[in-house]
A = this chain, B = another copy of it.
Amino acid sequence: MSERYVRVGLEDAKFIGGFWGNRLALIAKEVIPYQWDALNDNIQGAEPSHAVENFRIAAGESSGEFKGLVFQDSDVAKWMEAASYSLLSFPNAELERTLDSLVALLAKAQRPDGYLNTYFTVARPDARWTDFSFGHELYCAGHLIEAAVAHHRSTGKTTFLMVMRRYADYIDSAIGPEEGKKHVYCGHPEIELALFKLFEETGERRYLSLAEYFVDERGRKPSFLKNEPTFSGPGKTTWFDLDYHQAHKPVREQDSAEGHAVRAMYLYSAMADLAAETGDPKLASALAKLWQDTTRTKMYVTGGLGSHSVGERFSLPYDLPNDSAYTETCAAIGLVMWASRMLLLGPSREYADVLERALYNNVLSGLSLDGKRYFYVNPLDVAPRLDEFRSDLEHVKTERVQWFGCACCPPNIARLISSLGDYVCTVHSAASTIFVNLYAEGEFRVNLPSGAITLREKTNYPWGPSIAFTVGPEKESSFTLALRIPSWSKTYSCRLNGDPFAGAFSPNGYLLLTRSWRKGDSVELSLDMQARFVYADPLVREDAGKLAIQRGPLVYCLEEIDNGPDLHAISVSPDAFISESYDPDTLGGVVALSLEARRDDTSRRPDYPYDSVAPSTHPVTIVAVPYFAWCNRKPGEMLVWIRAGSPRPSS
């Protein structure tokens, strides 16, 4: 019997329609085929990938040169992971065959010693294991290992897993603390997460040890990274120093989120894996500090991380510019990964709140509603003409695009959503408690010592307030159903079999429903989904005097198509009433918000530049839509943080 918090795995999570079920279906039916075409350069007008072709060349099945970025392999790996997980909910014989032949190709591309990387095989065979700062060699290995674990989990086939175990074993033979091995780690963490999953999947503790080695070695001084020619090569400025790689201090001494935001999230996720597995209090303590620093001083309201485009990195605390925000889709995905692992160190709604914030906002905005267009950068204030002119906004795309030369994000969203089952519930068996962290229409199977329990969940979350569970234990048994009450839900109510049921509200933000449960017991939780204005920490200079609109987990925005241009001219009173209406025909079905606001008269030019006459204003009704859904109709301006106007005069 486990003394630990464990996930309900995606094998036991079935999404049936609803917000997430529909998105898992979109991934299976549209995104995975589309991305396969992209990886094979079959999308007209898209930036080329060459990623599959690189494997063919490495396998000797094709001739030509390696093309793309050094980490091009990882695009294929993430797609394989997404496709594998997707098979669990959407069996697809053709996709399975495609995966099988891709696995065969990878096996063929693998070197006799187990090494598998197309860039260093085809383009730079001389340079294997020489560029840990930017070579992404172990990063690519990690993604391939994660894909192999996914393939094994979903199909039971061992072909891919064996290929990747060979590679992992080879890595283990070449790198590690022992004399004669290289004492290194990858600039971009990922191998750590993969080795941990490989350990979980195979039970082989060598993989766990190697993951621990990589985490522990990081930040050792003097750093081997500084001796690499790539470390300070062309374009490598102060923003690419050791902190960029989170290698400025041993991880247990780190207390602030620094450097490349995706690297940071992956590292902290790996630290959380190890802290949960080993119980290391120093790791847990460092994670608590890093969590606080990240989510209280460096996170946008959308869950976006990494405001600084040069280095795709964290800036100083509270430096969260809205127009130049980098907020890479992958960083928000990384935050989801980290938050879900923090929940395994001990449940707290704060982790799940942040997970949800990132997932429903910055992650989802990375994907168009039809699954075929992507954002890499997700700012909170878009003004297309400026973004296209200004050098400091060069990184901003004002529309989602078909594919990227650097395409880390699109397949990362696909793998996250198709593995969303891993993120819904955590369980503490010894305490017989099921923590429901995310709400979604579906059916979830939980194993407790007393037997298996099925939770059927009916909800149109995040649109409606009601979340109804039908609890189905195999036989009557006593356990606790712990339902997260998000911090944005200022009130809630709960009914058991139709009658009010108070439960107990725990300090960590869960409503604890403890009883002896019988098959068919129904629980209905009602959350407070009232749209509200939210405010940033007053230290965030870019949001001072501004408000954003949030409804449930969703952050809203204004779009030009609904509100005209010059969105900055709009101000909203903090006591404005927000009307809600669910519109099934808009943006795939969303609750749109409308509210009374005022608009500066931008059509009236002042008599003199900088005169003492304040701009006149007029009343307008504005419409806000969920941030994730913006730019699915027509490109244009978009704004999350709106100026707070004066309170309405009391009449």
B-contacting residues of A (Cβ < 8 Å)?
Answer: 237, 239, 295-296, 299, 301, 308-311, 315-316, 319, 324, 350, 353-354, 357, 383, 385-386, 389-392, 487-488, 490, 532-539, 541, 544-545, 547-548, 550, 566, 568-569, 571, 574, 600-602, 604-615, 643-647
Contact A532 B612 (CB under 8 A): yes
Contact B389 A392 (CB under 8 A): no
Determine the chain B residues whose CB is within 8 A of the CB of A647 once the complex forms.
646
Determine the chain B residues whose CB is within 8 A of the CB of A574 once the complex forms.
614
The distance from the CB of A241 to the nearest CB of chain B, in whole angstroms, is: 12
Contact A391 B310 (CB under 8 A): yes
- Nearest B residue to A349, CB-CB: B608
Contact A386 B319 (CB under 8 A): yes
Contact A301 B610 (CB under 8 A): yes
Determine the chain B residues whose CB is within 8 A of the CB of A548 once the complex forms.
610
Q: A295-B609, A490-B612, A538-B602 are in contact. List 19 more A-B contacts (CB 8 A).
A: A296-B605, A301-B609, A308-B391, A310-B391, A315-B390, A316-B385, A324-B392, A357-B609, A357-B610, A383-B541, A534-B610, A534-B611, A535-B610, A535-B615, A536-B610, A537-B606, A544-B568, A545-B571, A550-B610
Given A569-B538, A601-B538, A614-B574, A390–B319 Cβ distance below 8 Å?
Answer: yes
| 11 intermolecular pairs with C-beta atoms under 8 Å apart | A239-B391, A316-B385, A316-B389, A392-B392, A490-B612, A533-B612, A539-B602, A544-B600, A544-B643, A545-B571, A614-B644
8 Å CB contact of A612 from B299, B535, B541 = B535
Determine the chain B residues whose CB is within 8 A of the CB of A532 once the complex forms.
612
Determine the chain B residues whose CB is within 8 A of the CB of A308 once the complex forms.
390-391
Q: Which 7 A-B pairs have the closest CB atoms?
A: A538-B600, A541-B568, A392-B392, A310-B391, A538-B615, A646-B646, A532-B612
- Nearest B residue to A311, CB-CB: B391
Give the CA-CA distance A545 to B639 in the complex, in Å: 15
Give the CA-CA distance A134 to B364 in the complex, in Å: 47
Determine the chain B residues whose CB is within 8 A of the CB of A537 once the complex forms.
605-606, 609, 615
Tell me the interface secondary structure of chain A in the complex.
loop
Determine the chain B residues whose CB is within 8 A of the CB of A310 once the complex forms.
391-392
Determine the chain B residues whose CB is within 8 A of the CB of A606 once the complex forms.
535, 537
Counting every copy of the chain, the complex holds 2
Determine the chain B residues whose CB is within 8 A of the CB of A604 once the complex forms.
538
Contact A534 B315 (CB under 8 A): no
The distance from the CB of A549 to the nearest CB of chain B, in whole angstroms, is: 10
Contact A535 B614 (CB under 8 A): yes
Give the CA-CA distance A427 to B209 in the complex, in Å: 88
> Which of A324, A568, A569, A607: most chain B Cβ within 10 A?
A568
> Which of A315, A541, A610: most chain B Cβ within 10 A?
A610
Determine the chain B residues whose CB is within 8 A of the CB of A539 once the complex forms.
566, 569, 602
Determine the chain B residues whose CB is within 8 A of the CB of A538 once the complex forms.
566, 569, 600-602, 604, 615
Determine the chain B residues whose CB is within 8 A of the CB of A609 once the complex forms.
295-296, 299, 301, 354, 357, 537
Give the CA-CA distance A325 to B538 in the complex, in Å: 24
Give the CA-CA distance A605 to B299 in the complex, in Å: 14
- Nearest B residue to A569, CB-CB: B538
- Nearest B residue to A535, CB-CB: B614
Determine the chain B residues whose CB is within 8 A of the CB of A607 once the complex forms.
487
Determine the chain B residues whose CB is within 8 A of the CB of A390 once the complex forms.
308, 315, 319
Determine the chain B residues whose CB is within 8 A of the CB of A389 once the complex forms.
315-316, 319
> Which of A295, A391, A647: most chain B Cβ within 10 A?
A391
The distance from the CB of A586 to the nearest CB of chain B, in whole angstroms, is: 25
- Nearest B residue to A537, CB-CB: B606
Determine the chain B residues whose CB is within 8 A of the CB of A605 once the complex forms.
296, 537
Give the CA-CA distance A533 to B615 in the complex, in Å: 12
The distance from the CB of A395 to the nearest CB of chain B, in whole angstroms, is: 11
- Nearest B residue to A313, CB-CB: B391
- Nearest B residue to A612, CB-CB: B532
Determine the chain B residues whose CB is within 8 A of the CB of A315 once the complex forms.
386, 389-390
Determine the chain B residues whose CB is within 8 A of the CB of A239 once the complex forms.
391
Give the CA-CA distance A365 to B612 in the complex, in Å: 23
The distance from the CB of A293 to the nearest CB of chain B, in whole angstroms, is: 12
Determine the chain B residues whose CB is within 8 A of the CB of A383 once the complex forms.
541
Contact A353 B392 (CB under 8 A): no
The distance from the CB of A238 to the nearest CB of chain B, in whole angstroms, is: 9
8 Å CB contact of A487 from B299, B316, B611 = B611
